[in-house]
Structure 1
Amino acid sequence: MGISVTGVKPGNTTVTINSKTSPNISKRIPVTVKSRNLLSYGPASGNGLTATVNSDGSLHVTGTASSQWAGIQWTFPCPVHGAVTLSRPTSIDGLTVSVKCLDAKGGQLGAQINTGNAGTVPAGTVSLRFEILATEVKPTMKNGDIRVQLESGDTAHDWMKPDNTSLKGGYKLENLWPEYAAQTVSGLTITPLGGEYKLKGTSTRGFEISTQRELTPGTYLAPKCEIDSYNVYTEIQDPTGKNLWRGYQSDQEITITKTETHKFAIRFAENRTVDKTFTPRLYKLD
């Protein structure tokens, strides 16, 4: 014989069980009703965004992100493995949410969990990282509420307040794209503008402007950085000269397996006239 208890709302309570054959015999059993929302979060500030917790447990986010793909995060012990669903019944335009699965060393396991599709928390996941990031190339001011829910299974249910809304968070996504010095190459002049670059002139031949940086093992994100489509573009190459990503491609995650020096180039064809300001970016996600 089994006993099924359905909680009305999260919290602590007791269940009293009485004997039908011996009315004087009863037992009070403590019960903890947990939220189906597996996320943990709380007040956070980073990269121009500030999050506070509303009275209903949702997040209020204000501020202007310092750059695209910058934002805030919370890391907490993994509560479940297997199929999960991430839903976002209330959102803010220009901000995206996701959950990454981390191993004991903080490395990412499997694909990140996005809204709209069922995901999987792989075996071996020790912690989860909930992120709110800016998607706009030039982020704008935000002031609104977000309700996000991570739950077991492949079906999204009505949003519930998570059990833990006091977890402090923050974030710092450092742009790892190495700096280019001011120079003129084959008719094109590049001018640093404090994180941005100005590229101007007409190329006299096909060539490149390049610099280098050592990358350590991990997962990196290269956001799209289009200068002049296929004619003038940024590019990342591994030590063998293999192309890992080009700026006219969509946002792409790059996996680096060992510490090596990579080339960060601006490639251009002959007789291309350019007058563009652009910001190449590379972020380490784990």
Structure 2
Amino acid sequence: GQIEGCIECHECAKRCEANAIAYTMQDEHIEIDAGAIILATGLDLYDVSPLTEYGYGKIKNVVTAIEFERLTAASGPTFGELKRPSDGKIPHAIAFIQCVGSRDFKHKAYCSSVCCMHATKEAILAYEHHPGTKSTIFYMDLRAVGKRFQEYVTRAKEDYNVTYIRSRPGMVAVNPENQNPIVWYEDTTTTETKNMEVDLVVLCQAMTPRGSKELAEILDIKLNEYGFVEVPDKLSHPVDSTRPGIFACGYVHSPRDIPDSVTQGSGAAARAAEVIAGGN
């Protein structure tokens, strides 16, 4: 089907020196005799509708992180203009709620790994679109463990008007007069119950391994309790599955960001080459 934003001018096919674009190509099933298999199916986003306390789907100015990303994208529905859904106004106060569905035994008990930095990046994007925008990130534990991640968080605080509040909001209500969301939360540093009225709420939802259950049945491999590929020997064979010759990398293996996924992909490719060459 047509890709969003594509006007079917075929200009990309003319400019592709490798002749890698074929508009007439159709889907087909191909059987391959493979010496090794690498699973790299990526992630899916957890449906936040069951978490009714946050008002998603009922309060117009409550969106998910991926929807917010589209609002800031040049190819998005607002052509890169950050406008809130209810009235098209520019939001000057934004609240990001972390771990929506993550670290929750009723939903997904694990940490999704990337949300803290993703929210920080989106808060910075909001400020760059409209300088002066005030972003507040409600978090359980700030997990900025990658290279220079903590420096990035510090820069967000100092240069981009981002505030971090250690709290897990209990409810998002709405002001009927202006459609502004109202975030109710406990400030864990003071143990006080507070509320904050903002123009827009962004829910940073849990992420899940894509297609892992179906692949596990097809390939006869095991998954762990959270649905990620089971790795029997995490120390000496960190990308091996429970079946020899089948390897995993990226989010289907375990929660991780893009740099970690790239590194792990290189490791999986090396293991596949080793097996094909006759190694163990």
Task: Calculate the TM-score normalised by the size of structure 2.
Answer: 0.28
Task: Calculate the TM-score normalised by the size of structure 1.
Answer: 0.28
The answer to which structure has the higher helix fraction is 2
The answer to which structure has the higher strand fraction is 1
